[in-house]
Amino acid sequence: MTTLQSLSSFVPRKTAWIPAPIWIHTCQQMAQGYFWPSLITTVGCLGNITYTCTLPFVTVGILTGTTLTRSKAILSTLMIWLANQIFGYLLHNYPRTPDSFGWGIVLGIATLSVTLAASYRPLFKPVKPGQLWLNYAWIPLMLVLGFLGFQVLIFLAGLFLGGTHGLTLPVLGKIWLDNWLWTGLWIGIHSVLVGSKARSLYPISQPAHLEYPAFNKPASKA
């Protein structure tokens, strides 16, 4: 005779966590979709209404590089950079001089460099069991390395273009803090959206040891 207890063992039980393969697959879906790329590109472009050359470009590179496919990351980065230049010259009265145009190009190259470096380990990169944290550990590492690399490029460009006298330690400290705060905020938003999408699309009821081979395919960076 079947007991109530034995029947209850077949009832799916939702867990409080989302298995890593499902999380990664959902990150990949968002990267290849339209909503998330459109959201961060739109917000990044409109952010130039408030920000000028102090836009957290490192955050732009890290956010696009780790949450989008490489081609979309490059496109999003270039669009945000272009918006920065357009708003700068039309709204913020950037000087229309050769060195000013040169600085715009330098900012674009530096930001795109961070994007390409960050895309080495996107959040949807397949990992071994228990190693999902490595994808997220890449973000603070890129905040440090990306910021240092970005400022080195600015320093080297300043040797030829000048105009770096305003980059004092307090100013650099504020830019550093802004990049950490904005990156943390947007990665948090991305995580909330991934979690919500994963729970709506997949039944999170499998045991922790169960593998999801369909989700372990290498993610495309195209």
Q: Which two tokens stand for residue 141?
A: 């590492």
Instruction: Give me the helix-helix angle, 20-32 and 35-46, nearest 10°.
Output: 60
Residue 179 exposed, middle or buried by CB count within 10 Å (0-12, 13-18, 19+): buried
pLDDT (0 to 100) of residue 203: 66
180 in Cβ contact with 144 (< 8 Å): no
pLDDT at 197: 92
Residue 112 structure tokens = 């795109």
Whether 46 has a pLDDT exceeding 60, the answer reads yes
* Residues whose CB is less than 8 angstroms from the CB of residue 151 and which lie 6 or more positions away in sequence, other chains included: 167, 172
Q: Report pLDDT for 204.
A: 56
- Mean pLDDT of the region 64-92: 95
The pTM assigned to this predicted structure is: 0.82
Cα–Cα distance, 167 to 29 (Å, whole number) = 40
- What pLDDT was estimated at residue 75? 97
Give the pLDDT band of residue 136 (cuts 50, 70, 90). very high
Q: What pLDDT, on a 0 to 100 scale, did the predictor assign at position 10?
A: 38
> Comparing C-alpha atoms, which of 117, 154, 108, 165 is closest to residue 138?
117
**Separation of alpha carbons 61 and 149, rounded Å:** 12
Q: What is the spatial distance between Cα 171 and Cα 156, in angstroms, rounded to a whole number?
A: 18
Mean pLDDT score of the chain: 85
Q: Which of 222, 204, 221 is nearest to 21 (CA)?
A: 204
Angle made by CA atoms 159, 109, 121, in degrees to the nearest 5: 125
pLDDT in tens, 183-201: 999 999 999 999 999 998 8
